[in-house]
A and B are shown apart, each in its own frame.
Chain A
Amino acid sequence: MSKPEFVYVIYIASTPEKVFAALTDAKMSEQYWAGNRVVSDWKIGAAFALKLKREETDVTGKVLEYDPPRRLAYSFHPQHDGMDAEPPSRVTFELEQQKDQVRLTIVHDGFEPGSKAFESISRGWPFVLSSLKSYLEAGRVLHAPWYDTESARQGAA
């Protein structure tokens, strides 16, 4: 049986530098990531956290690769909804300039079969990356109505 792996490609009319900055800056991430903030000093081996606006705990991790503006990778370990019992997974971003746009590829792997975190991130990333694209291209972000109700968590990565 193959291990669960999430792969997503999105093209953004921007520069690799701007996309990389948006992926690593707490204030920018707060804009397009529904109030969640990425926090790290981005040194290899340093702590990474995704500070979740609607949860008591952060997603924790470590910086695995930091090669601006081409590659970024961190381990990813949600602590809420029982997902702390699963092993950490791994997020890798690859950025390639193509004429007037950037091809951004995200691979999120390292899950065990039946992983709850995998289900959650598979729903979350398309929304977060769609919002990131809108943010960089049109200066707008997508506002998910399901975040307006406390119980609905389906958009959170």
Chain B
Amino acid sequence: MRKPEFVYVTYIETTPEKLWEALTSSEFSRRYWFNTDVKSDWKVGSPFALVMNGTTTDVGEILEADPPRRLSYTFQQVLSEAASKERPSKVVFNLERHGKFVKLTLTHEGFAEGSKHLDGISKGWPAILSSLKSMLESGTALAIPPSALGIEGFDGL
């Protein structure tokens, strides 16, 4: 049986340094990540949080920070009581330079059997990473309506 995990690969015409900054700076994340601020000092062991329009949606802890190659944090949804009872999952970003572009591999893993989150994050990440690619390549992020993702209970905040 396959482990419940989500893997997404995208290629972005940028440098690993710029992509790293986009993944770790609130100023950038707000533009491509549904108005979400990524908050952390990005030191191993430090807290991590996603804050959407002022409301904390997810929290975690930095597991790896090796700029501009690898970033990893634990990921716990805290928006609802049911969600915050699930054990934290793990997000890993791998950045590899290939000539003029970067291969970004996102792995979101460590879900409990029958996790309710896997479906939601599987719909969310393609939108976020598509928007990130647009922002870095053309300067304009995508304005994807959160309700269009089809995630139960997620219409934006």
Interface set of A (CB-CB < 8 Å, partner B): 2, 8-13, 98-101, 103, 126-127, 130-131, 133-134, 137-138, 140, 142-146
Complex Cα–Cα for A2 and B1 (A)? 8
Residue pair B99, A140 in contact (C-beta under 8 Å): no
Whether B13 sits at the interface, judged by CB under 8 Å, is yes
Q: Mark B90-120, 1 if CB is under 8 A from A, else 0.
A: 0000000011110000000000000000000
Residues of chain B from 120 to 140 with CB closer than 8 A to chain A in the complex:
123, 126-127, 130-131, 133-134, 137-138, 140
Stretch at the interface among B33-41, B49-57, B59-67, B143-151: B143-151
Query: What CA separation (Å) do A137 and B11 show in the bound complex?
Result: 14
The list of the 9 closest CB pairs from A to B, nearest first, reads A11-B130, A130-B11, A126-B9, A9-B126, A145-B99, A138-B138, A98-B148, A138-B137, A137-B138
Q: Which residues of A contact B137 (CB under 8 A)?
A: 134, 137-138, 140
A101 close to B138 (CB less than 8 A): no
Residues from chain B with Cβ under 8 Å of A10 in the complex: 10, 126, 130
Residues of B within 8 A of A133 (CB): 130, 133-134
Q: At the interface, is chain B mostly helix, strand, loop or mixed?
A: mixed
Separation of A144 and B12 alpha carbons in the complex (Å): 11
Closest to B139 in A: A138
**Residues on the B chain within 8 Å of A99, using CB:** 143-145, 148
- Bound-state Cα–Cα, A101 to B133, Å: 14
Q: Is the CB of B140 within 8 A of A13?
A: yes
Which of B11, B126, B148 has the most A CB atoms < 10 Å from its CB?
Answer: B11
For A130, the closest partner residue in chain B by CB is B11
Docked complex Cα distance between A98 and B131 (Å): 13
What residues of chain A lie closer than 8 Å to B133, measured between beta carbons? 130, 133-134
A98 to B142, CA, bound (A): 11
